[in-house]
Each structure stands twice: as C-alpha cells, then as structure tokens.
Amino acid sequence: MRDPERLATLPRMLRAIWVLVFGCGFAACAGTSGASRVPISRWVDLYPELAVQSGDFETDKGLFRPRRSKEKIEAVDGAVRLYVDGDDDGFAKARDELAQDPVSAYWLTRYLLLFVIKARQPRQIDETDPDRMVGEPVWKRPVREIEALGPAAVPAIVMDLLRDSRGDYRALARELLELVGPEGLPQWRGVFEIEDPKARLRGTEVLAGWQDRSAPVVALLDAMSRDEDWGVRGEAYRGLGRDASHAPRLVEALASEADPYVQRKIIEALADHKSHANASAIVGYMARAYDANDRRGMLAADAALRKMSGKKQRATLETWRSWLTTLDR
C-alpha cells in the first residue's frame, strides 16, 4: 500500500469495503437493514452539529453520512493515507486536528472502525509462519487511535455500531465506549432519553458492563433502574450489582419490583455479594416463588444461593433457611 498511485485510490477502496463489511446496515439491501428499527431521526437528533450538515441520510436504509466539504474530504483522506503508510507521528498530528471538527472526526473514526472490524474478522492462519504470533494483534492499533480521539469518536461509535442490530457490532460499541470512559458520556447520554426502549436498553447495557463506578455512571444506572421498560431496569440493576455498596439498593428493589424478569436479574446481582442481608432477601424471594408456584423464580433463587454459598447441589427452601442461620448478621 506504499505505492502513491494505489494510495491515491485508497479512500474509494475503503468506502467500498465499508459497504461490504457493514452490509445492509450502511448500504441498500433489498428492503432489509442491519440498523435498529428505531427511526434514525431519533438517533441523529443526538448530534445536531452533524445533522445540520447532513440531510442525506436515508431512514429506510439506515444510512448516515454527514456531508463534507472538499477540504474536509481531502483532510480525512490524507490522514488515512498517513495511517496506512505507517506514519504514526504524522497521523497523530492530523488526528488531533481533525478531532476539532465533528464531521471530520466522525469520518476519521468510521475509517478506524473499519480497520478494527476487518482486523478482527476470522481468517486462515498459516501455522508454518514463524512470525505469526510476533507483535501485538493488528486490531489494537486502530483501537488505540480511537481511544486517542476520545469523546470526538463517540458519535460514530454510537451511530455506526451501537445503533446496529448485530450483536457483535454492539459488543464492539460497548468495548470502545468503555475505553473512552466517563469523559465521553456527555456525547451519548441522550441515548437514554430516546423514546424507544430498545435504544435505552442498548445504552444501559453499555454502562452495566463498565468497571468504572464513578458518580455519573452510578447516577445514570440508578435513574435507568426506574425506567418504564423491564429490560432496561434489569440491565440497570445488573450494573448496580457489580458493586457491593449498592446491594442495599437491590434488596430494597427486590421487595418492590413487580416484574419477574427484573426480580431474577436482581437476585443474580445479589449472588455476587455474600452477606446475611443479601442471602435473606434471596431466601425470602424463593419463599414467595414457592407460594406462587413460580418455577423459574425458584430455580433462579436456588442458583443464586448456590453461587453465594459455594454449594453445588440444589437444595430445598428449608435447607436454605437453615444455611441462612449460619451467616453472621
């Protein structure tokens, strides 16, 4: 790729590959789309600085292509050439300059996402190649550059990955958004306000998996635990349950939550934090499940108590009540 004539055609080639990689989510496909069924306009509203300069996205195909001037096209394409040519210093300088403009940052991030996805695709490995395991995985380099872009990379991650219906793309979005961290949260906080619960669920799934337990993250998870959608509430409680300090909040929620699915998510979260109070809440839930002949609830409670106690065999309600008396209050 170091030949100047080939490099000159690189942006067009990458755009073609992008369509192949992202499939129906970004290109016309016989009435189907890889993007969420949530109207794209609701997602675009998150980024008015892009929508104002766009106007050419297609709601039926899930496309979003912010318009660029000739100068911006040349600037982004030039940065991509520096990246492909291995000029890390030159690319870093161009990257930092492009990050100042939302549209240019969007397109640069899109190219970097392409490099990550292509590098992670399954491919045949030559087991006879002695250098096959030398050096870091290829995908780490574009991931580092996305992290360096920071909050400027968030709109493309949200619009191109989090909005997609494919699980592996959303998983990549969760990974990258966590990498950017709470600093980028203001750039995608609006996802939690989209009327469609599918969008709010995707956002809550991201936060629920974060290791970061800073105040803005916890506050947002707490807010989503009161969402009207049961799926969103369940993910929020899963996220809160990653920290033992929030166990009392979960115990309180278990007593008031009416949805069976959410109740099970709560006890699954409590199972990670062994204490008399948490175990008592789960045993109480199991008793109520027995009274309601709720088999799924009984099994979920038993699984949670076995995880908490370290026991391998299923046990009766009475057995768990007896075990509960062995725990210090």
Q: What percent of the chain has pLDDT over 70?
A: 80
Is residue 206 assigned to a domain? no
Is residue 279 assigned to a domain? yes
Tens digit of each residue's pLDDT (9 = 90 or more) over 250-303: 999 999 999 999 999 999 999 999 999 999 999 999 999 999 999 999 999 999
Question: Which residue intervals of 215-316 are DSSP H helices?
Answer: 215-224, 230-240, 247-256, 260-270, 276-291, 295-309
140 plus 274 within the same structural domain: no
Residue 165 — very low, low, confident or very high, per pLDDT cuts 50/70/90? confident
Instruction: Burial-class residue 132 by CB neighbours within 10 Å (0-12, 13-18, 19+).
Output: exposed
Instruction: State the total domains in the chain.
Output: 2
Is residue 274 assigned to a domain? yes
180 plus 251 within the same structural domain: no
Domain boundary among 160, 187, 214: 187
Is residue 203 assigned to a domain? no
Distance CA 119, CA 116 (A): 5
Please give the DSSP secondary-structure letter assigned to residue 273. Answer: S
Count Cβ neighbours within 10 Å for each residue of 174-196 and write b for 16 or more, e otherwise: bbbbbebbeebbebbebbbebee
Is residue 229 assigned to a domain? no
11 plus 123 within the same structural domain: yes
25 plus 96 within the same structural domain: yes
Is residue 2 assigned to a domain? yes
Q: Is it the case that residue 108 has pLDDT exceeding 90? A: yes
Domain boundary among 187, 220, 253: 187
- Please check whether residue 68 is in contact with residue 104, taking contact to mean a CB–CB distance below 8 angstroms: yes
Q: What pTM did the predictor assign?
A: 0.83
Is residue 309 assigned to a domain? yes
Tens digit of each residue's pLDDT (9 = 90 or more) over 172-199: 999 999 999 999 999 999 999 999 999 9
38 plus 152 within the same structural domain: yes
98 plus 176 within the same structural domain: yes
Residue type present at position 22? F
Range of the domain at 112: 1-187
Six token digits for residue 241:
């349950």
261 plus 179 within the same structural domain: no
- Please check whether residue 57 is in contact with residue 65, taking contact to mean a CB–CB distance below 8 angstroms: yes
64 plus 173 within the same structural domain: yes
Tens digit of each residue's pLDDT (9 = 90 or more) over 212-249: 889 999 999 999 999 999 999 999 999 999 999 999 99
182 plus 33 within the same structural domain: yes
169 plus 305 within the same structural domain: no
245 plus 183 within the same structural domain: no
155 plus 24 within the same structural domain: yes
Is residue 34 assigned to a domain? yes
